[in-house]
Structure formats: structure tokens, C-alpha cells
Amino acid sequence: MTFALQLLLRPFSWLYAAVLAVRNWLYDRGWKPTTAFVQVPVLSVGNLRVGGTGKTPHVAWLVAWLQARGQQPALLSRGYGRRTRGYRLTTALDSAATVGDEPWQQFGQFGGTVAVAVSENRVAGIGQLLAEVPAPTAVVLDDAYQHRRVRPAVNILLTEQQRPFYADFVLPAGRLRESRAGAARADAVIITKCAPDLSAATRATITAQVRRYARPEVPVLFSAYDYGPAVPVPGTAAGRIAAPEGGSEVLLLTGIAQPAPLLAHLAAAGYRVAHHACFADHHAFTPAEIVALAAQCQPGQGVLTTQKDAARLQEPALAASVADLPVFYIPITVRFLADGEARLASLLDPYFPLPAVG
């Protein structure tokens, strides 16, 4: 967006921000109802910006941490992009179309060991999750920072190093869902997609900027991505060729908000991307698009994609199109920089104490 266009849109941003500020004020004063769940801790992961801050891998980190503490976590999201409505508990019979690409990815990632549910109404969704057998001992809300009807025990705010909320503006002049002041609700702020070697001086500068909006006692943490080796996507022809490695010429298929970090990783690893089929976030791939991609694929080449996109490629309607296409996804895990993991654990420890020994 050009600076001139941004200036023209600023008045609309101010109006939108004012409406949201009134909404938040009503919640803060208790004039709009909120629900706190005393049965189990509710942990919320979200952002101020529209799309692409790394919520899904951070939610996965949080779920794995809870499991390591002996907890039985459950995941609840709205289920963006699904073709169903209401509460739905994910089963092996579902797909990205019925629960959304991210919940379907999460269900597969944890092998069915974690209850993954979707519901537009998070209050009702949590209530229904707690009625499941066995009941979860913790509920993680994915992308619920603006869902004020639920009052979480811990509210985790994510923001990208390259696109921090403190340098952005409210829609439509920028990409913020609400004003920067919304950071004051966070119990922890995580700067995501950082360079692994981010210096202490740069971390201090970013922390000072965050402190202008977040509460002074709130920890400001930093995380980076670790990329794993290519994994075959089920239902495709990935088993017919060796998984692409650095130095290989590949095709790339993405339907995510920010493909730049993945492209940077592939370039650093020595991959040569011959063709990049780039689509919008949560894009529902069509058979025609897959056929067009296959036409670009030369013998011996593999197609790389993200784990979220792989979830959508497993739609039954695409089965015939992807069956002869060798598709692999690049897994992502979160790694905290410096003492970030220990500081986040100390924030969560009071809600999930380790059982006494002896």
C-alpha cells in the first residue's frame, strides 16, 4: 500500500478503531458479559494483526508442553473456511472442508490424541468440550484474542518481527484488527518468525517498543522457526520419488498469508524453486489448479508445500488430481530464543503444577 493511499484511508481506520475501542471499553467495564471457566484453565493464543503471525505452530508448541506436563489439553477454534456450522468435534471422518484447514492439520499432527473442536461461539464450545469424555484438563483457544466473551486464564499475543503491531495501523489503512492499545490485555507477548541469531540489542529495542502498549510486567519473548525435512503428503505420489533435499529443483505450492519465510528457508537450504503457485491464505484448491501445477512438474521434480496446505490437499474432491503428483510438506516447529521458553513456562506453571514426587 502506498503512503498516499494509507493517508487517505486513515480517517476510516480511526472510525473503525473508535468503534472497537467502545466495544473493548464495554467489556473492560463489565457492561458486556464475559465468561471465565473455573473448571479448567483456558489459554488463548491470538494476534492484533490479520493473518500470518504463526498461531498454528505456537499452539502446537503449547499443546505439546501441556502434554509433557501430564495434562489432557483440548483445542478449540472457530474453524475458519469450513462448510459446516456450530460445534463439531473433529474425527477421522472429517476434512478441512468440515472443520477448517488448521483444525484438521492439528488433529492429524497430534494423531487423534488431542480433542480438536470448532465452534463460532467459543463460550458454548468450551462448555461442550468440558462435557466430552474424558474431559480436558486445559483448553487452548486458537485465534481468540478479539473474542472477548471468554475471559482466559492466560492471554498470549503474537506479533511478527518483520510486521510488528506497534508499527502497523488499524484496517483499512493497515492490517490491525484493533488498535495497538489492545496489547494491554496480553499476559505474554511473543515476537515470532525471528532470525535465529537475533541479537540481544535488537531484542531490547523491540521489547522497548512493545512496552509502550503492553503492561510493564508482561514478558516479551522471541521465537524462531525450525524447518524439518520434507514429509510425504498422504494420497499423493510422494512415495514414488525420494524426498527433495537441498540442491533439488522443486515446485512450491502455498496458500498461506506469509510465504516469504518459507521461501527464505528453501533458498538458504539450497532448493531451487522452478515454479511457485501462490494463493491467498486458506485458499480452497480446485482440481483445475492442481492439474495446472502438475503440468509444470517435470520428471523427478517434487512439489513442496506447507503442512496447512497439505491438510487442504487431502480433500476427497482433489483425490484424483493429486494422486499422481509427488507432494511433500515442510514441517515447522517453534524454538524460543534466549530464556523465552523458561519464562513462558514460569507463567504457565501456577496453572499446571507438576505432581509431587514421593
What is the per-residue pLDDT across 191-202, written as a single tens digit (0 to 9) for each?
A: 999 999 999 999
pLDDT tens for 76-123 read 999 998 999 999 999 999 999 999 999 999 999 998 899 999 999 999
Confidence of residue 318 (pLDDT cuts 50, 70, 90): very high
Q: What is the pTM of this model?
A: 0.94
- Average pLDDT of span 237-247: 88
Whether the predicted pLDDT of 358 surpasses 60? no
* Residue 196 shares a structural domain with residue 260: no
pLDDT tens for 263-301 read 999 999 999 999 999 999 999 999 999 999 999 999 889
Return the CATH number at 57. Answer: 3.40.50.300
Whether the predicted pLDDT of 162 surpasses 90? yes
Instruction: Give which of 277, 332, 322, 326 is closest to 298, Cα–Cα.
Output: 326
Angle between helices 55-68 and 101-109 (to 10 degrees): 30
Q: What percent of the chain has pLDDT over 70?
A: 99
For residues 86 and 268, give the distance between their C-alpha atoms in angstroms, rounded to a whole number: 43
* Residue 239 shares a structural domain with residue 96: no
Residue 249 lies in a domain: yes
pLDDT tens for 117-136 read 999 999 999 999 999 989 99
Residue 97 lies in a domain: yes
Instruction: Give which of 162, 154, 168, 156 is closest to 1, Cα–Cα.
Output: 168
Look at residue 173 in the predicted model and tell me its pLDDT.
95
pLDDT tens for 324-334 read 999 999 999 99
pLDDT tens for 47-82 read 999 987 999 999 999 999 999 999 999 999 999 989
Residue 221 lies in a domain: yes
* Residue 247 shares a structural domain with residue 342: no
Q: Is 84 annotated as a binding residue?
A: no
Whether the predicted pLDDT of 357 surpasses 70? no
Q: Is 49 annotated as a binding residue?
A: yes
Residue 103: which residues within 8 A CB-CB, separation 6 or more? 75, 77, 79, 90, 116, 117, 118, 142
> What angle (nearest 5°) sits at the alpha carbon of residue 274, between those of residues 273 and 275?
95
User: If DSSP codes are grouped into helix, strand and coil, which group holds residue 270?
Assistant: coil
Residue 150 lies in a domain: yes
Q: Is 52 annotated as a binding residue?
A: yes
Domain assignment of residue 269, given as a range: 229-330
* Residue 143 shares a structural domain with residue 46: yes
Residue 357 lies in a domain: no
**Residue 141 · residue 76 · CB < 8 Å:** yes
Look at residue 356 in the predicted model and tell me its pLDDT.
63
* Residue 81 shares a structural domain with residue 207: yes
Q: Is 63 annotated as a binding residue?
A: no
* Residue 174 shares a structural domain with residue 195: yes
* Residue 130 shares a structural domain with residue 12: yes
- For all residues of the chain together, what is the average pLDDT? 94
Measure CA of the first residue to CA of the last residue in the chain; give whole Å: 62
Residue 356 lies in a domain: no
Q: What is the total count of domains within the chain?
A: 2
Residue 98 lies in a domain: yes
Which residues are registered as beta bridge partners of 89? 117
Which stretches does DSSP call E strand in the chain?
Answer: 42-47, 73-77, 88-89, 115-118, 138-142, 154-160, 188-192, 220-227, 231-232, 249-254, 272-278, 302-306, 327-330, 332-336
Residue 134 lies in a domain: yes
* Residue 89 shares a structural domain with residue 7: yes
* Residue 317 shares a structural domain with residue 172: no
* Residue 30 shares a structural domain with residue 108: yes
Whether the predicted pLDDT of 3 surpasses 90? no
Q: Is 51 annotated as a binding residue?
A: yes
Instruction: Give which of 266, 267, 290 is closest to 277, Cα–Cα.
Output: 290
* Residue 39 shares a structural domain with residue 166: yes
Q: Is 193 annotated as a binding residue?
A: no
* Residue 270 shares a structural domain with residue 219: no
Look at residue 7 in the predicted model and tell me its pLDDT.
84
Instruction: Give which of 273, 249, 237, 245 is closest to 330, Cα–Cα.
Output: 245
- Average pLDDT of span 229-235: 94
